[in-house]
Amino acid sequence: MRLKELALHLGLSQTTVSRALNGYPEVNEETRQRVLDAARRYDYRPNASARRLATGRAGAIGIVLPTDRNMLLDPHYIEFQAGLGERLMKDEIDIVLSPSKAGDEMATYRRMAISSRVDAVILSSPTVDDPRIALLTELGLPFVVHGRTNSPLDYAWLDIDNEGAFRHAAKHLLDLGHRRIGLINGETRHNFALERDRGFRRALAAHGVEVDEDLVAEGIMSDETGYRITARFLAQRPRPTALLVSSMMMSLGALRAIRSAGLELGRDISMIAHDDVIPFLNPDAMVPTMSTTRSSIRAAGTRVAELLMEIIVDGRSPASIHELWPVDLVVRASTGPVPRD
């Protein structure tokens, strides 16, 4: 069923039918009802491509999907996507994933922009000096960054307070008497990891505790990395008495290493992990329950979608969008006072 046919059936012009369907005010209420009824009866849907061509709006937002491992192995990503979807659904906006080889992402963004496949894009976990910011700005394709970089440009972003989160977490451990605290971080080429590193160091500095660089490590946020780094940390003497871990996934590996070393979490060693609130990694379900810095990545997705809509639909200026979300410190059973030996 095409608009033309529908109009024919109704004995109306395409113009009127189109207007009725799209909620324009200048159509008679009775006519509108007739049109809506007919549309429903015939299960009419405007052709997406035609509408896009006519309006110039794509009705979709884009995400460039790097197909190499490094970025994707992140199980958090899917939660974020779900959050996005939750909001975008309301306006029938699609998410377009554009697969791209590792080095080729810039070209993919360019392609998305120039062929106007999408109305805006989302940038996730930017690196410290992310070149995509400049590119997109230049291309004039609206975007919202989930995270921040130190780009001098003014762009829309939503981020959680990674620095504050790890500062508070470290302070909490220091207050419990811990002095040898290890940091198991994500890769510091990503800005969030750098922020966490910063927060960690600030807290220690504020307490007059010197950072032992042998107790600071980073890697992709996997179970395996968590295990390896923790095992290495635990081999040191004196042993660290507490760990700050950048993801729940890593904390799983860390926990294995702790057990392998014959230690008990929450008594012999304390741990605080960052929790993105992913359903299959529930800190309350762990044994012992895990103390965390918590911020829902799904909620962030929803909000990013909301912001995107404001930019696209309401024409809100991206430069005015800066949201820094505070992060909760949730104390559970994995943290305790420093053990006396």
Partner DNA sequence: GGGAGCATTCAAAGCGCTTTCAATCTCGCG
Partner DNA sequence: CGCGAGATTGAAAGCGCTTTGAATGCTCCC
Q: Give the interface with a copy of itself as residue ranges (CB under 8 A).
A: 43-50, 52-53, 58, 60, 65, 67, 69, 72-75, 77-79, 81-82, 84-86, 88-89, 92, 94-101, 110-111, 114-117, 220-224, 227, 249, 252, 255-256, 259-260, 278-282, 285-287
Q: Of 113, 26, 17, give the one whose Cα is nearest residue 64.
A: 113
Residue type, 166: F
50 binds DNA (CB under 7 A): yes
Distances (CA, A) of 167 to 72, 164, 200, 201, 202: 28, 5, 5, 8, 7
Size of interface with DNA, in residues (CB under 7 A):
27
Q: Give the count of alpha carbons within 13 A of 212, CB side only.
A: 16
Cα 45 to chain centroid distance, Å, stands at: 33
Q: Which position among 33, 37, 41, 55 is part of the footprint of DNA (CB under 7 A)?
A: 55
Q: What is the dihedral of CA 40, 44, 48, 53, to 10 degrees?
A: -110
How many residues does the structure list for the chain?
341
Q: For DNA, give the closer residue by CB, 15 or 150.
A: 15
Among residues 43, 40, 52, the alpha carbon closest in space to that of 32 is found at 40
What is d(CA 136, CA 121) in angstroms, rounded to the nearest whole number?
Answer: 9
Q: What share of the chain is helix, strand, coil (3-state, %, to 5)?
A: 45, 20, 35
Nearest to 80 by CA among 304, 310, 309: 304
For a copy of itself, which is the closer residue by CB, 39 or 204? 39
> Which of a copy of itself, DNA, none binds 144 (CB below 5-8 Å, type-dependent)?
none
Q: Which is nearer to DNA, 18 or 335 (CB)?
A: 18
Residues 3-32 that bind DNA (CB under 7 A): 3-4, 11-16, 18-19, 21-22, 26-29, 31
Which position among 46, 66, 85, 177 is part of the footprint of DNA (CB under 7 A)?
Answer: 46
- Choose among DNA, a copy of itself, none what residue 27 binds, the Cβ cut-off being 5 to 8 Å by kind: DNA
Report the residue number, 34 or 316, with the smaller CB distance to DNA: 34
Q: How far is the CB of 257 from DNA (least distance, A)?
A: 56
Distance in Å, CB of 3 to a copy of itself, minimum: 12
Q: Any contact of residue 113 with DNA (CB under 7 A)?
A: no
Token digits for 42?
A: 């015939």
Pick from 135, 103, 139, 142: which is nearest to 120 by CA? Answer: 142
Q: Give the binding site for DNA (CB under 7 A).
A: 2-4, 11-16, 18-19, 21-22, 26-29, 31, 45-47, 50-51, 53-56
